[in-house]
Amino acid sequence: MISLNVNEKDLQVDVDPETPLLWVLREHLDLPGTKYGCGVAQCGACVVHLEGEAVRSCVTKVKRAENKKVVTIEGLAENNDHPVQQAWTEVDVPQCGYCHSGQIMSAAVLLKENPNPTDEDIDLAMAGNICRCGTYSRIRKAIHVAAEINKSST
């Protein structure tokens, strides 16, 4: 049994400790918002927060998350109203949408670490999140909008 705290809930899962966290979230905990893209840490579709850091859950063994706090897109904000999610809606960022849970999770960590990022900061921080639909300019714009929402709420 592995003890986890996922989206503020303490729970236990009966899985091989080597299992990627992604599959525990999707298959065992019924949290399908975190996506499988490449499986080899190259695309960012599977990003979740582990103790507040953005990690690629496809290559993170569940044992690394034992007794730690995991947050997925489903738990980022109670009403899906995290500033990044608000900005994503306002800018209408997604095209097919597949990459966006990972994009939003990465953007949330970026803004926590750098509340007022430049375009260059955004491009650097988000470089590991691939969007096959090419929504990069809207992602950049939405991150600036989220930074403004954050400022106006403090």
Binding stretches for ligand FES (CB under 6 A): 36-39, 41-46, 56, 58, 94-99, 131-133, 135
**Cβ-based nearer residue to ligand FES, 15 or 133:** 133
**Which residues have C-beta within 8 Å of that of residue 29, sequence separation ≥ 6?**
6, 11, 13
Strand-strand pairing, 47-50 and 9-13: unpaired
Residue 16 CB, shortest distance to ligand FES, in Å, is: 19
What is the helix, strand, coil percentage profile of the chain, to 5? 40, 15, 45
Residue 152 CB, shortest distance to ligand FES, in Å, is: 27
**Cβ-based nearer residue to ligand FES, 43 or 71:** 43
Residue 111 CB, shortest distance to ligand FES, in Å, is: 19
**Cβ-based nearer residue to ligand FES, 20 or 117:** 20
**Which three-class secondary structure string do you get for 37-62?**
CCCCCCCCCCEEEECCEEEECCCCEH
**Cβ-based nearer residue to ligand FES, 86 or 103:** 103
